[in-house]
């Protein structure tokens, strides 16, 4: 009997997706923390490899759970509360921290521009745009090919890297892919044969990343630069982007195939992935100025990388705890009762 994947089982959350989100956020935290060591070839290769699929995992899952949006005023309320408000709040927070740190991050002027997301906040803006566009994609006959075409053409646009429009358009196919998926697709990737194939696929991806590292800029993996900025023609750039989309889908499927379906010790932590995502960047930003990386630079690079990976795991767990959520929920999930009408009176009589 094939596996069945449900968003909720018996009224409860499906642990599979929370497990996937925890493992993916762990890769995000570790990837950012390893940034200052990227001159080492193995760290650069890790970035090429992990960045190919760690955000696509989140985006595909987000698309999958956006299939019913917007079906009610309540979901619109939740969209604003879960994305728009935290985006504005943390864009201010990150801008203030960047101003406080000053020269270490490239300047000491306080700059606040909602159209130029600061650091990790781009993902909240992207999710807001993608989810608002959901009804359009659900009306198209061939939504995925259209999204792929938009992604490939986006690289030809002259969009400044500090804005996220290029990134939103470039990563769009992963969201639209999630919209087109159903329970059967996730059941397929969890079949024993696919799970067995996932290990060599990921190993091959890591090997290719190591071989490509001396010849390929990591900026390809940010999806925010035009082909011209990356130093290639439009034709070559489109070919590269199509290849990255294929690799991203392949490695995302392999990653999801290995995610445990049962409840684990980190399942509950995965349900709070927004907290480590938004908060870890603040720790990363202050790590340099307070001397953490200066101390690590005195160690062997491999030893420093291992320390960072272990510390990233600890940080991810701490930032995902229920205690921290209760302490900072007012900031990450601010109450909106002052803004919205009471739930029973969302529509005018």
Q: Would 3 be classed as within a structural domain?
A: no
Q: Would 188 be classed as within a structural domain?
A: yes
Structural domain span for residue 96: 8-345
Q: Would 2 be classed as within a structural domain?
A: no
How high is the pLDDT of residue 6?
Answer: 45
How high is the pLDDT of residue 13?
Answer: 82
Q: Give CB contacts under 8 A, 24+ apart, made by 244-249.
A: 244/52, 244/220, 245/148, 245/151, 245/173, 247/52, 247/53, 247/205, 248/52, 248/53, 248/56, 248/174, 249/56, 249/174, 249/177
- Could you say which residues of the chain have pLDDT below 50? 1-7, 9-10, 104, 345-349
What pairs with residue 8 in β-bridges? 13
Q: Would 155 be classed as within a structural domain?
A: yes
Q: Would 250 be classed as within a structural domain?
A: yes
Q: Give the three-class secondary structure for 12.
A: strand
| Model confidence, pTM | 0.90
Q: Would 186 be classed as within a structural domain?
A: yes
Count how many domains the chain has: 1
C-alpha 115/C-alpha 213 separation (Å) is 32
Q: Would 1 be classed as within a structural domain?
A: no
Kindly write down the DSSP assignment for every residue of 269-311, as one continuous string: HHTTTHHHHHHHHHHHHHHTTTTHHHHHTTS-HHHHHHHHHHH
**Torsion sign over Cα 114, 85, 80, 279:** positive
C-alpha 68/C-alpha 49 separation (Å) is 32
Q: Would 204 be classed as within a structural domain?
A: yes
C-beta of residue 249 within 8 angstroms of C-beta of residue 177: yes
Kindly write down the DSSP assignment for every residue of 116-137, as one continuous string: S--GGGHHHHHHHHHHHTHHHH
């Amino acid at each position: 009997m094939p596996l069945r994947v449900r968003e909720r089982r018996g009224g409860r959350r499906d642990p599979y997706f929370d497990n996937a989100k925890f493992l993916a956020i762990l890769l995000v935290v570790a990837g950012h923390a390893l940034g200052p060591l990227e001159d080492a070839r193995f760290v650069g290769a890790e970035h090429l490899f992990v960045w190919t699929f760690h955000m696509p995992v989140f985006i595909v899952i987000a698309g999958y759970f956006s299939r019913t949006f917007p079906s009610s005023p309540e979901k619109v309320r939740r969209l604003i509360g879960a994305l728009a408000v935290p985006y504005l709040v943390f864009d201010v927070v990150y801008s203030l921290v960047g101003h406080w740190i000053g020269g270490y991050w490239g300047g000491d002027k306080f700059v606040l521009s909602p159209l130029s997301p600061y650091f990790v906040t781009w993902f909240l803006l992207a999710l807001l745009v993608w989810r608002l566009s959901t009804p359009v994609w659900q009306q198209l006959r061939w939504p995925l090919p259209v999204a792929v075409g938009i992604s490939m053409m986006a690289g030809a646009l002259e969009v400044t890297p500090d804005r996220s429009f290029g990134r939103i358009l470039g990563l769009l196919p992963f969201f639209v892919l999630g919209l087109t998926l159903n329970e059967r697709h996730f059941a397929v990737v969890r079949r024993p044969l696919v799970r067995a194939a996932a290990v060599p696929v990921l190993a091959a991806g890591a090997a290719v990343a190591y071989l490509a590292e001396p010849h390929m800029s990591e900026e390809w993996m940010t999806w925010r630069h035009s082909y011209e900025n990356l130093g290639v023609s439009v034709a070559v750039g489109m070919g590269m982007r199509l290849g990255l989309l294929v690799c991203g889908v392949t490695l995302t499927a392999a990653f999801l195939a290995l995610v445990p379906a049962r409840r684990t010790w980190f399942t509950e932590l995965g349900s709070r992935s927004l907290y480590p995502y938004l908060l870890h960047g603040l720790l990363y930003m202050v790590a340099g100025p307070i001397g953490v990386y200066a101390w690590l630079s005195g160690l062997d690079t491999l030893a420093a990388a291992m320390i960072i990976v272990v510390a990233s795991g600890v940080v991810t767990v701490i930032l995902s705890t229920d205690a921290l959520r209760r302490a900072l929920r007012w900031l990450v999930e601010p109450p909106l009762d002052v803004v919205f009408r009471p739930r029973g009176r969302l529509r005018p009589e």
